[in-house]
Amino acid sequence: MSRSPVLLLLLCAVGAAAAALPRYREAPHFTNSAAAQCPPPLPPSDADAACSPRAAVHVAMTLDASYLRGTMAAVLSVLRHASCPESIFFHFVASAAAPGATAGELRATVRASFPSLAFRVYPFADEARVAGLISTSIRGALDRPLNYARSYLASTLPPCVRRVVYLDSDVVLTDDIAALAATPLPGEEAAVAAPEYCGANFTAYFTPGFWASPALSSVFAGRRACYFNTGVMVLDLARWRRAGYTAQIEEWMELQKRVRIYELGSLPPFLLVFAGRIASVDHRWNQHGLGGDNYRGLCRGLHAGAVSLLHWSGKGKPWDRLDAGRPCPLDAVWAKYDLLRPAAGIESS
């Protein structure tokens, strides 16, 4: 039976996308600890399990071909160190327009490596809208609409999900995520919890023109505004929805299209809305900057103190450096969770 040229082109495109995804190993299976007071395991094949009261922790991440290797390692690390791994529900937001793989192919890849994982993949419904709001930043990698998906979790995830831990794809945990998810969000208004870094130069995240304008810079009046990294956050989505924070973020993005007030992607709008208004999290939950120096590619070490989460924020990703044979010392920690390489001693429980 002959096929039309258009059909052949479509089949080739699908085949190329499928071929673009490597085959990952099946991850070890981790069960709920007998000593922990865990809910019964979530059914892995039921997307509606997101609304189950047995879902003890909700985790949100983005999912695309470019960072899939990092996402797989992050998921494995979460499960490895969780007291109740079978009670965690993962919410993955996938681009409908990203090259390399469809949402269905990404879903199948995750399922092949994590047969018992409770998760759902959501198409990023606001992608086209966000693309029209994005202004060019100093790093092209920051201009992908999917980088802004964290600002749309309240409308993407089901209304039954009230609290979620958002994680970037370049992290690994070495501690129980339930402790992070249980971070107190005091009062009635706090919708975000994250480690704050008040020693950082906060003014550097905005242009001189922003600070020179009283009408703009007064947004921080009465706020102890500090830098925080948006790659690890605890979000109260019920409060977020009630306050309309997505619309507030979009207002700043629309202003940025008219007047240049910042240079660095999706972070500054978050700071404009939330800096000085978040609940603090211990720094051990985001040992960030391990991607190295953005200009010279130098390796970076850990900050002083305990470590519960390592974050390879920055240009350098551990999987790229490992493949190139030029890893930084801490990349060996990430390699233990790499499902693309031979098993590195992580056993099931």
pLDDT per residue as tens digits for the range 58-106 = 999 999 999 999 999 999 999 999 999 999 999 999 987 656 688 899 9
Q: Which of 62, 118, 24 is nearest to 230 (CA)?
A: 62
Section 257-285 average pLDDT: 94
Class of the 49-336 domain? Answer: alpha beta
Q: How confident is the model at residue 318 (pLDDT cuts 50, 70, 90)?
A: very high
d(CA 194, CA 197): 10
Contact 50, 158 (CB under 8 A): yes
**In the predicted structure, residue 25 carries a pLDDT above the cut 70:** yes
Contacts with 271 (C-beta within 8 Å, 6 or more apart), sequence order: 202, 205, 225, 227, 228
| pLDDT, mean over the chain | 89
Beta bridge partners of 121: 92
Q: 120-129, 239-248, 250-259, 290-299: which range is least confident on average?
A: 290-299
Predicted local distance difference test score (pLDDT) of residue 176: 97
Predicted local distance difference test score (pLDDT) of residue 11: 39
Section 238-252 average pLDDT: 97
Contact 230, 150 (CB under 8 A): yes
Section 217-241 average pLDDT: 97
pLDDT per residue as tens digits for the range 121-171 = 999 999 999 999 988 765 556 678 999 999 999 999 999 999 999 999 999
Cα atoms found within 13 Å of the Cα of residue 102, Cβ hemisphere only: 9
d(CA 237, CA 242): 8
How far is it between the farthest Cα atoms of the chain? 72
Q: How confident is the model at residue 1 (pLDDT cuts 50, 70, 90)?
A: very low
Report how far apart, in Å, the C-alpha atoms of 241 and of each of 159, 167, 194, 232 are.
9, 20, 19, 20
Q: How confident is the model at residue 349 (pLDDT cuts 50, 70, 90)?
A: low
Torsion, Cα 101 106 107 112, to 10 degrees, reads 130
Contacts of the segment 105-108: beta carbons below 8 A, 24+ positions apart: 105/17, 105/18, 105/21, 106/21, 106/63, 106/64, 106/65, 106/68
Residue boundaries of the structural domains of the chain: 49-336
Contact 344, 336 (CB under 8 A): yes
Report how far apart, in Å, the C-alpha atoms of 195 and of each of 7, 172, 183, 229, 279 are.
51, 16, 11, 7, 8
Contact 281, 195 (CB under 8 A): yes
**pTM for the structure as a whole:** 0.91
Q: How confident is the model at residue 6 (pLDDT cuts 50, 70, 90)?
A: very low
Q: The dihedral of CA 292, 198, 304, 279: what is its sign?
A: negative
Predicted local distance difference test score (pLDDT) of residue 133: 92
Query: Which carries the bigger pLDDT value, residue 11 or residue 174?
Result: 174
